[in-house]
Amino acid sequence: MSNKNIKLLESIDASNAMLFQKKYLMNEKPVILKGMGKDWPAIRRWSADFFRNTYGHVEVPVCYYKSKQQEPYKKQVKIPLKDYIDLAEENKFTNNKNNSEPPYLGGWIFHNEFPELLDDIDMTLPCFPDNWLYKLPPSISIPPTNLIIGYQQVSSPLHTDSFFVNSVLTMIVGKKTARMVSPLHASVVSNGQNLFNPIIANKVLKQGAEIFEGTVSAGDAFYIPPGWWHNVINCGFTIAVQNLHVDTYRFPLFEQQLRGFVLPILSKIEDLGRNAREELSKTETLPAPLSHKIGGFIEHEKNYVMHLKKSLKKSEDYLRSYYLSS
Ligand SMILES: O=C(O)CCC(=O)C(=O)O
Ligand SMILES: [Fe+2]
């Protein structure tokens, strides 16, 4: 470690679920979970050859974090996994005219297409109670796991994970080093930074933030709490699994984040409806079209008003009790 002001991440045995929950999960404090994946079949099965031979033909999405930042999953460039692994193992990306940045398989959502791979990992982590992500309706489901294959030339610049989820990054092959900053110091860091650049790290430290650093190798995992900034580099060829968790305690904030996605869409639809009604009210009064009756227009409108009223009351009650208790 180059800078002695950088603190070492604490590290505990992953089998000590009680200690993890009390000291780290409850306090949203990052930690290294030693041996998290040591008994997963993936540790014995997964390798560059395994993926090349079994899934080499599959087109996988790659990221270009430096030139494109985080793109929507469906918009990412896709390349055959075989080509990607050849490149990653060689660690010899050379600039070409079209693209000067090496591609990074920074999060492949594999489990719908290849659910058999789920048998190689353990998603029922004893450290995490009940994962509420499984309760979401399929239409807005957030994939609870993804696969990351890396090499020395690629990394994840400083970022926070969306929706305030708990993230567990378990190493299957190779080593990663991470630097993390608490959300309490968000004002002195920014998205996309390289905290491994000593000039940037020193600037962040000087402004009063703490930087935590740790390295994990096969079988070990990082626990990255909600909202924590993290910058992750690959120390050679790596295969890792990221698992996302939302427990009961953090679900209300998560729900609010999801609503932030849905509400603008709902508002837009409502606005259009109001525009149409306004336009109609300017013209001579027309009788309601027959389809209103068939479609149960009045019934649905009443149900909607009831839903809004109930929702409003529950939210107001919740806010009142929140203020009383804090
Ligand atoms: O390994 C990486 O490059 C990124 C991992 C990460 O950002 C995460 O687990 O949230
Ligand atoms: Fe992340």
Ligand nearest to the backbone CA of 146? 1
Any atom of ligand 1 within 6 Å of the Cβ of 176: yes
Amino acid 304: pLDDT: 96
Residue 294 Ramachandran class (φ > 0 left, ψ -120 to 50 alpha, else beta):
alpha
CB of 174 closer than 8 Å to CB of 234: yes
* Protein residues within 5 Å, CB atom, of ion ligand 2: 161
Any atom of ligand 1 within 6 Å of the Cβ of 179: no
Q: Can you tell me the distance from the alpha carbon of 297 to that of 292, in angstroms, rounded to the nearest whole number?
A: 5
pLDDT band for position 1 (cuts 50, 70, 90)? very low
Any atom of ligand 1 within 6 Å of the Cβ of 63: no
- Which atom of ligand 1 is closest in space to residue 176's alpha carbon? 1
Return the CATH number of 7-246, one of 2.40.30.10, 3.40.309.10, 1.20.58.220, 2.60.120.650.
2.60.120.650
Least confident of 18-27, 69-78, 166-175, 237-246: 69-78
Any atom of ligand 1 within 6 Å of the Cβ of 232: yes
Percentage of residues of the chain with pLDDT beyond 70: 97
The model's pLDDT over 117-130, given as tens digits with 9 standing for 90+, comes to 999 998 777 788 78
- Which atom of ligand 1 is closest in space to residue 161's alpha carbon? 10
The model's pLDDT over 83-107, given as tens digits with 9 standing for 90+, comes to 999 999 987 777 766 668 899 999 9
Distance between Cα 303 and ligand 2 center (Å): 40
Amino acid 141: pLDDT: 78
CA distance to 51, 173, 234, 293, per residue, from 45 (Å): 10, 10, 21, 61
The model's pLDDT over 235-283, given as tens digits with 9 standing for 90+, comes to 999 999 999 999 999 999 999 999 998 999 999 999 999 999 899 888 8
Amino acid 325: pLDDT: 82
* In the predicted structure, residue 193 carries a pLDDT above the cut 90: yes
Distance between Cα 318 and ligand 1 center (Å): 34
Q: Can you tell me the distance from the alpha carbon of 186 to that of 170, in angstroms, rounded to the nearest whole number?
A: 25
Amino acid 288: pLDDT: 83
Amino acid 96: pLDDT: 65
Any atom of ligand 1 within 6 Å of the Cβ of 240: yes
Name the more confident of 52 and 91: 52
Any atom of ligand 1 within 6 Å of the Cβ of 107: no
What is the residue extent of each domain of the chain? 7-246, 248-286, 292-326
Q: Could you give phi then psi for residue 16, rounded to 5 degrees?
A: -90, 70
The pLDDT mean for the chain works out to 92
* Residue whose CA is at the smallest distance from ligand 1 atom 1: 232
Distance between Cα 104 and ligand 1 center (Å): 11
The model's pLDDT over 194-233, given as tens digits with 9 standing for 90+, comes to 999 999 999 999 999 999 999 999 999 999 999 999 999 9
* In the predicted structure, residue 21 carries a pLDDT above the cut 70: yes
The model's pLDDT over 33-51, given as tens digits with 9 standing for 90+, comes to 999 999 999 999 999 999 9
Residue 60, Cβ neighbours under 10 Å: how many? 23
Amino acid 275: pLDDT: 95
Q: Are strands 31-34 and 105-108 parallel, antiparallel or unpaired?
A: unpaired
* In the predicted structure, residue 139 carries a pLDDT above the cut 50: yes
